[in-house]
């Protein structure tokens, strides 16, 4: 019997950390039931705010945009791998002991899962190394998720090689997953973005439930 769904989406709010240079989300309550008889809200946020999906177009000219990503990539069995070492990067050595047979989707829980998702951006989050990204591509992985705001380490003047390696191979990336309370193992994943025409990314609602 399948267990209940777990929501691994961070709530959008005005104090949510964002990548440097991005605007914090604004939820503008333009009317309320108490004052106006109806509540209405206007949103102002970037496509890569909070829990979000990167489509290949984010870094790849001519790559798929968010509405072109097939649902069969965004839904299905997913392996959660625990990588809570002290290093700043997930390396190939962290992946070699994992059984990758029949795995097409993987999400990584790191020590960054325990960062508060409010206040200032934390540049010391755990990311993927380029060699680890290339390892996953070679294994035929179609979707990679991580718990903080990027699969790429924070560097000044970065050329984003990890994003380019994954997205260039058609791998979909999910960033900002709420994984702190989940155990390693096999899950069913549902990750649904907004269908933003021509966009390179979108906020998403992401659900997981254990399959073991």
Task: For residues 146 and 143, give the distance between their C-alpha atoms in angstroms, rounded to a whole number.
Answer: 10
Question: CB–CB of 63/209 below 8 Å?
Answer: no
* Residue 184 CB neighbours (<10 A): 13
163 is catalytic: no
Q: Kindly name the residue from 48, 52, 58, 163 that is annotated as catalytic.
A: 58
Exposed / middle / buried, residue 168 (Cβ in 10 Å: 0-12, 13-18, 19+): middle
- Euclidean distance between CA atoms 65 and 197, whole angstroms: 8
**Catalytic residue set:** 58
């Amino acid at each position: 019997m399948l267990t209940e769904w777990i929501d691994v989406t961070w709530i959008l709010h005005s104090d949510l950390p964002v990548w440097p240079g991005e605007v914090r989300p604004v939820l503008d309550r333009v009317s309320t039931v108490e004052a106006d008889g109806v509540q209405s809200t206007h949103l102002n946020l970037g496509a890569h705010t909070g829990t979000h999906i990167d489509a290949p177009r984010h870094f790849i000219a001519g790559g798929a945009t968010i509405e072109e990503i097939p649902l069969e990539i965004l839904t299905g069995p997913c392996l959660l791998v625990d990588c809570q070492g002290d290093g700043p990067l997930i390396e190939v050595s962290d992946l070699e002991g994992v059984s990758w047979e029949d795995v097409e989707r993987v999400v990584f829980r790191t020590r960054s899962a325990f960062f508060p998702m409010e206040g200032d951006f934390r540049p010391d989050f755990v990311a993927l190394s380029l060699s680890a990204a290339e390892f996953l591509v070679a294994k035929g992985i179609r979707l990679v998720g991580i718990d903080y705001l990027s699969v790429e380490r924070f560097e000044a003047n970065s050329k984003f090689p990890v994003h380019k390696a994954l997205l260039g191979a058609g791998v979909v990336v999910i960033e900002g997953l709420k994984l702190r309370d989940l155990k390693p193992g096999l899950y069913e994943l549902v990750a649904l973005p907004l269908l933003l025409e021509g966009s390179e990314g979108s906020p998403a609602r992401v659900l997981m439930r254990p399959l073991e």
